[in-house]
Structure 1
Amino acid sequence: MSRGIKKSLIALSVSGVLFAPSAFATNGYFAHGYSTTEKGLAGAGVAHSQDAMAIATNPAGIAGMGERMDVGAALFSPKRSYTTSGAPSDQCGAFGCSFSLTEGEVDSNLELFLIPHFAYNWALDSDTSFALAAYGNGGMNSNYKTGQARFSPAQDGNFATFDGTFGANVAGGSGTTGVDLKQLFINASYAIKLNQEHSVGASLIFAYQTFEAKGLEAFAGFSSDPANLTGNGPDSSTGFGVKLGWQGKIAPSVTLGASYQSKMSMGEFDDYAGLFAEGGGFDIPATATIGLSWKTSDKSTLVVDIQSIYYSDVASLNNSIQQMLPSSGLGLCNPAASPAAGPGCLGGASGAGFGWDDMTVIKLGYEWMSGDMTYRVGVSNGSQPIPDGEVMFNILAPAVMETHITGGFTMPLGSNSELAFAAMYAPSNSVSGGNPLDGAQTIEIEMDQIELQATYSMMF
């Protein structure tokens, strides 16, 4: 292939990824995997790198890898809903009046997303490589066009019902409630073999994220900056991070791997400084992964990864909704002030958030060769990050998935090209908890997912 054609393919592939950031929400809001080969193994691969996209999991994996390009896309379909049980109480007390959701089930629309990816590895010599990749890290998306809220806007006992899950039309809005967070990584990695058994690698990662919220007008009384709470269109922020990785063969058939991605300090979402803690802060949490690859025969391999995601390091994700509620007794927000005053108010230094816990995911995969084909299956499981006392805000981000079941294959298309395919099914999971603003109600959030991904690879 001529140098000009290669450059054109690279430019076209990168452009496609840059203009279509992701909308994942699988392990919390991180993807269950990145490369198609790893996704067929439930995302496992920190010790088993097979293509240039491996740098998204472990940059050490490209050491000694030949020159290649991997480009593809996923079709991701999440189905999200919430169900409210219990009639609105319509009560007022010392800490204000109740805020209730009308009974019944409400579904989020927008159930199909196209998520492209691209990676290219340059073999600098037999022991060193440099790779560049662009891919989606994760995201949260919800869009509830129906649903209603019942509350007393003046906190005077005069209750009314408003269209929109969180009273979106209280200020004349359309009634649609939801959020849209998208994140894009551009990863530049270098790796070197220290000897025949061990390799190390490092990545410099540029992150770009966009966010939009709509239909949150009913929470204006709890915001330190209500003008920058909701309905301000898409906003963006950028930041940098690093990923470090190692792979080492400890026995003829066993390889270990480990990687760590730093927390990324992102710029603030200024247009949502009245929603996210710390004046619009929304950093990307650190992750750490360890794993092994065991070549069980000449034609089969078993892989196991354990990944930790540190959501507790990000205030907007980890802080509880209790931070803003006078009834909690914390005294961190005074909604009687105008605007609301105190560090626990939305947008405050200790502002209320989604209440997410850290998450640990175990991934198990198996692949085998049959003729020219390579087949893969996998399963992963991890405790979802949302406590049952935090379900109200997480209607916006019902990231409750715990189990992913996967399968896939790689098929050669010629001497220098191949096609990889992976499918994922995440069975429905839900979390139920009380409405913190109306003790008479219970809210259940639920999601299930399907994903199909394909990658075309060329070796040079």
Structure 2
Amino acid sequence: MKKTIKLAVVAALALGATSAFATNGSALIGMGAKARGMAGTGIGMSHGAESALTNPALITSVEKTEISFGGTIFMPDVKNENGVNLGPLGDESGSATSDADMSVIPEVSIASKVADNFYIGVGMWGTAGMGVDYRDANDANTGQMNMVTNLQLMQFGVPLAYKISNFSLAVTPILQYGALDINYVMSDALVTAMTGGTVTKGYTVGNGVAQDLSFGFNIGASYEMSGLTIGAVYKSRIDMEYKGQLSRAIQNFGVATYTNDKLSTPAELGIGASYVMGEHTVAIDYKQIKWSDAKGYKDFEWDDQNVISLGYEYTAKNWAARIGYNYASSPISEQSYSGVNGAGLSSGLVNTFNLLGFPGVVESHYAVGGTYAISEVTSFDVAFTYAPEVTNTYKNFLGQNITTKHSQTGLSLQANFAF
């Protein structure tokens, strides 16, 4: 077991955690290629070792020891058009495509049966992220303000599961690493307009990358009977603080009262079920992501998401095929209140940062995937996910239109070893 733990750490660090647009807000729809091939479905269906984060109670399907490692090449396509017409001071309206169009998200999972009723695992996973890169968008005098945002989240966990007859219960203590960087350029004309001419010189906003470590936990349960598996999971909120990031980014828009640098990973509640009929398995998951209670996201008016995932798997002797569909309405919506919200932010400023810097707005996701086993020990998984383009137009901090178009594709590859 010590050797497999070392393997997990080395492999995950080699892959590295990079920023990504994830599918449900800033959260990935699935951990591992099997789950992603079914559009994230896995709360009530075991995927072996990779179930450690989705529902740790389901690692009890591992007969001896299983290792899974791989990653996802994530390719978001984000375009933005922002109207920044300053009248006599100039027109800084512009459109651009984000250069943050590819990232690698790692996943390493190990599960082992250590006694008749007791199972243990270990894993490191890239779990979420967001990012845009408009640094080369024409020049500094565009509506994108050369904005660059980069959020990275990675979790290390040790799932512990206990099985009695058909019932399993598990907990996964989580150590989460996070990094956040926000940069943009305030042009001379924009600063002059915002300050009424009291300040006329533009500047660059950026404080370098801020990092944090924090703890959380997942709790899972499952019950099996006559081909039916029912599962439930709770994931705790994990509070993170990135000093000098959100506060400085907002204060340079004249909101001196905004001092929050917390951006929490939201809590999740989920239930799921699967049913096996010979070679066929159908599965359904429902979960709620509590963005409205997560620090930072709450300030920017993110709504809770109700996520529905549907999946189907066909299993043959040495291969399997999967399809899936995942839907959740966008956690971001246009704000139009007068004055400021409880965090001291105007609706236009909230709209600008959501659509320009953190546009987690895609809703529908389609997936296909499969497994090929070359022996009883070794198998390989592949999954492809696609989120069709969505277009959102809100009012920015000047009361003018800001539009973002966003679509996604992702390719997941994974190797599995059972022994």
1:261 aligns with 2:239: no
Aligned to 1:121: 111
Cα drift, residue 311 of structure 1: 0.8
The answer as to whether partners of 1:424 and 1:451 remain within 8 angstroms in 2 is yes
Cα drift, residue 308 of structure 1: 0.9
The equivalent position to 1:132 in structure 2, one of 122, 143, 149, is 122
Q: TM-score, normalised by structure 1?
A: 0.78
SS of the equivalent of 2:409 reads: strand
Tell me the amino acid that sits aligned with residue 12 of structure 1: V
The answer as to whether partners of 1:145 and 1:164 remain within 8 angstroms in 2 is no
User: Structure 1 CA distance, aligned partners of 2:58 and 2:90?
Assistant: 52
The equivalent position to 2:270 in structure 1, one of 283, 289, 293, is 289
User: Structure 2 CA distance, aligned partners of 1:279 and 1:84?
Assistant: 26
User: Structure 2 CA distance, aligned partners of 1:284 and 1:99?
Assistant: 40
In structure 2, the CA distance between the partners of 1:216 and 1:54, relative to structure 1 (3 Å rule), is farther
User: Structure 2 CA distance, aligned partners of 1:443 and 1:79?
Assistant: 17
Tell me the amino acid that sits aligned with residue 313 of structure 1: D
The answer as to whether partners of 1:431 and 1:445 remain within 8 angstroms in 2 is yes
Cα drift, residue 360 of structure 1: 1.1
1:391 aligns with 2:342: no
User: Structure 2 CA distance, aligned partners of 1:281 and 1:6?
Assistant: 35
The answer as to whether partners of 2:388 and 2:407 remain within 8 angstroms in 1 is yes
Tell me the amino acid that sits aligned with residue 200 of structure 1: L
SS of the equivalent of 1:247 reads: strand
Cα RMSD over matched residues? 2.6
Identity %: 24
Aligned to 2:102: 112
Aligned to 1:156: none
The answer as to whether partners of 1:382 and 1:403 remain within 8 angstroms in 2 is yes
Aligned to 2:296: 316
The answer as to whether partners of 2:122 and 2:156 remain within 8 angstroms in 1 is yes
Cα drift, residue 191 of structure 1: 0.3
Counting matched residue pairs gives 385
Aligned to 1:46: 43
Cα drift, residue 427 of structure 1: 0.6
Listed as ranges, the matches of 1:294-373 within 5 Å are: 294-295=275-276, 297-319=277-299, 354-373=300-319
Cα drift, residue 90 of structure 1: 2.6
Q: TM-score, normalised by structure 2?
A: 0.85
Listed as ranges, the matches of 1:44-443 within 5 Å are: 44-65=41-62, 66-84=64-82, 88=85, 90=87, 101-103=92-94, 105-147=95-137, 163-165=141-143, 167=145, 176-193=146-163, 195-217=164-186, 230-249=205-224, 251-270=225-244, 272-275=246-249, 278-295=259-276, 297-319=277-299, 354-389=300-335, 390-394=350-354, 395-438=356-399, 441-443=400-402
Deviations 1:335-359 (A, max 9, x none): xxxxxxxxxxxxxxxxxxx321111
The answer as to whether partners of 1:64 and 1:125 remain within 8 angstroms in 2 is no
User: Structure 2 CA distance, aligned partners of 1:362 and 1:81?
Assistant: 27
In structure 2, the CA distance between the partners of 1:304 and 1:34, relative to structure 1 (3 Å rule), is same
SS of the equivalent of 1:257 reads: strand
User: Structure 2 CA distance, aligned partners of 1:165 and 1:179?
Assistant: 15
Aligned to 1:348: none
The answer as to whether partners of 2:19 and 2:130 remain within 8 angstroms in 1 is no
User: Structure 1 CA distance, aligned partners of 2:127 and 2:91?
Assistant: 34
Cα drift, residue 433 of structure 1: 1.4
In structure 2, the CA distance between the partners of 1:197 and 1:181, relative to structure 1 (3 Å rule), is same
The equivalent position to 2:24 in structure 1, one of 9, 27, 37, is 27
The answer as to whether partners of 2:324 and 2:368 remain within 8 angstroms in 1 is yes
User: Structure 2 CA distance, aligned partners of 1:413 and 1:357?
Assistant: 45
The answer as to whether partners of 2:81 and 2:143 remain within 8 angstroms in 1 is no
1:452 aligns with 2:398: no
Unaligned runs of 5+ in 2: 196-203, 251-257, 336-349
Unaligned runs of 5+ in 1: 92-97, 150-161, 168-175, 223-228, 320-353
Cα drift, residue 400 of structure 1: 0.8
Deviations 1:258-287 (A, max 9, x none): 101011122342455423754311111111
SS of the equivalent of 1:301 reads: strand
Tell me the amino acid that sits aligned with residue 241 of structure 1: G
User: Structure 2 CA distance, aligned partners of 1:278 and 1:51?
Assistant: 44
User: Structure 1 CA distance, aligned partners of 2:218 and 2:386?
Assistant: 28
